[in-house]
Amino acid sequence: MFNIFKNNKKDHNNNLFINIGALLIHVAKIDENYSEKEKEIIKKTLLELGLSADVLDNVFKKSEETEKNSNQILEFTKEVKNKDEEFKIKIVEALWKIIYADNVSDIYEMSLMRRLTGLLYLDTKIVGDIKNKIKNS
C-alpha cells in the first residue's frame, strides 16, 4: 500500500511540473517564435524548481502536449498560485527570461504577464522589479 501512495505523490508532483512547463511553453509560443533558447530556459527552470533530471525529457514532452491541447492558462496556474512566494518568483523570473530571450517584448506578452500576475497572486511591483532585473541583465 505504501508504494501506491508514494507513486501517487510522485505523479502529483510530476503533474505540477507538467503544468509549470505548459505555462512556460505557452508564454514562449505567444510571440509565435518558440526557440531552442526558450526550451533550454524552460528545462533549466524545471530542474531548479526541483524536478528530477531523470524525468525531465518526459515531463517536458508532456508539457508540450498539455499546452498544445489546452485553450486556457488557468489550469496551468491552479496549483502554482498556492505555492510560496519564492517558488512563484522563480517562475516569474523564467517567464521574463523567456519573453526577453529574443530581446523584445510585444503587447501580447505584456498582456499575458499582467494576467499571470493576478492569477499567481503576486504584487505587480515585485513582478515589475523582476522584469527590470531580467531586461537589464
Domains, the chain, ordered by start: 2-135 (1.10.3680.10)
**Each residue of 62-94: pLDDT tens digit?**
999 999 999 888 989 998 999 999 999 999 999
Integer Cα distance of 74 and 107 in angstroms? 20
pLDDT < 70 positions in the chain: 1-13
Single pTM value for the model: 0.87
Picking from 114, 131, 103, 98, the residue whose alpha carbon sits closest to that of residue 29 is 98
Which grid cell is 129? 522589479
Integer Cα distance of 25 and 2 in angstroms? 34
pLDDT of residue 99: 95
pLDDT of residue 72: 85
